Amino acid sequence: MKTRLFCTLTAAAAFLLASVPVFAHHSFAAEFDVKQPVTLKGTVTKVEWTNPHVWIYMDVANENGTVEHWQCENGAPNALARMGWTRNSLKVGDQITVEGFRAKNDDKTANARQIILPDGRKVFSGSAEDGGPGKAKE
C-alpha cells in the first residue's frame, strides 16, 4: 500500500514539474497588442541570443530627434536558426528596421515580426507558435 502511494505521489510530482515550462511561456496576446503596429528604424546596441526568445536592443530616434532605447522580442533561437539566422546575423552598430507590435504596457518594448537587415533582406523574426500575426509578406 505504501509503495503504491509513493509511486502515485512521485508520478504526480513529476507531471507537475514537467508542466511548469508550459505555464511559464506566454502567448503573443498576453503581452503585445496587435492593434498597435510599430516600425522602428535604428541602430542595434545589443543582441541576446538566449532562450526562450532572442532579444534585440536598439536606439531609435523619435519624431523630435530624441534617441529612445527599444527592446524587441523575437522567436526562439532554434526557430530563428531553422530560418537561417545565426548569432552573427545582427551585429552591434547595424542599421535595421523592425516591424512588429508594441507591448500592451507601452514601455518601448515590441514583438518583432519582420526585420529588414542592413543588406535589405526582409526576414521573419517571430514565432509561428506564439499566437501572434502570421509570417511577414515578402
What pLDDT score does 5 carry?
55
Locate the domains of the chain by residue range.
28-124
**Cell reading at 87:** 548569432
Please name the CATH architecture into which domain 28-124 falls.
Answer: Beta Barrel (2.40)
**Cell reading at 99:** 516591424
**How far apart (Å, rounded) are the C-alpha atoms in residues 12 and 31?**
31
pLDDT tens string 92-107: 999 999 999 999 987 8
**Cell reading at 68:** 529612445
Share of the chain above pLDDT 90, in %: 52
- State mean pLDDT over 34-38: 93
pLDDT tens string 41-81: 999 999 999 999 999 999 999 999 999 999 999 999 999 99
Helical (H) or strand (E) element with 123: strand 122-124
Q: Say whether 17 sits in a helix, a strand or coil.
A: helix
Contact between residue 37 and residue 100 where contact means Cβ atoms under 8 Å apart: yes
pTM, full prediction: 0.74
